Amino acid sequence: MTDDMMRLGPEKRFLVLLGLICLALIGGALYMQIVLGEAPCPLCILQRYALLLIAIFSFMGAAMPTRRSMTVFEVLVVLSAIGGIVAAARHVFILANPAVSCGIDVLQPIVDGLPLATLFPLGFQVDGFCSTPYPPVFGLSLAQWALVAFVLTAVLVPLGIYRNRNKTA
């Protein structure tokens, strides 16, 4: 095992953990939808896409043999997290201002037209309104939790790159 691969080990483990956490969050959202009857809105579905992209790019990055190839996927993880931040922040705003609509008439056909809505409609089709308040989880709405997760991802991935790669530079 080369010295470079040994240095990348913690970074790869972090990416795998991040991917697993994102898949668990999607699983939790599906549980809340199917078991608890909480219908997903367009912004919820966009957040699921962001989580799925983060998971895919994390796993792909962890599988890369070189620092440069892993960095490409880590950048894609951060870009996906930024997309998630936008969707989650908008959702938090709508929940705080219920008179504002998420534009279900505008967003629904767009989100429902994405490929996963056809392949896996239960998980990726719009069925609710962004302004519907569901019970908080540990004091925060799901949109607020999603926002926290996306911000942490967007901050921790670059921080991990910087920290891990400057240790031995």
Contacts of 131 (CB under 8 A, 6+ apart): 94, 95, 98, 100, 101, 102
Asked if residue 57 has pLDDT above 90, the reply is yes
Contacts 24+ apart (CB under 8 A), 9-12: 10/160, 10/164, 11/70, 11/160, 11/161, 11/164, 12/61, 12/62, 12/70
Residue 25 pLDDT level (bands cut at 50, 70, 90):
very high
Model confidence over 127-151: pLDDT tens digits?
888 788 788 888 988 899 999 999 9
Q: Give residue 70's domain range.
A: 3-166
The pLDDT assigned to 39 comes to 87
User: What is the value of pTM for the model shown?
Assistant: 0.88
Task: Count structural domains, the chain.
Answer: 1
User: What average pLDDT does the structure give for the chain?
Assistant: 87
pLDDT for res 67: 86
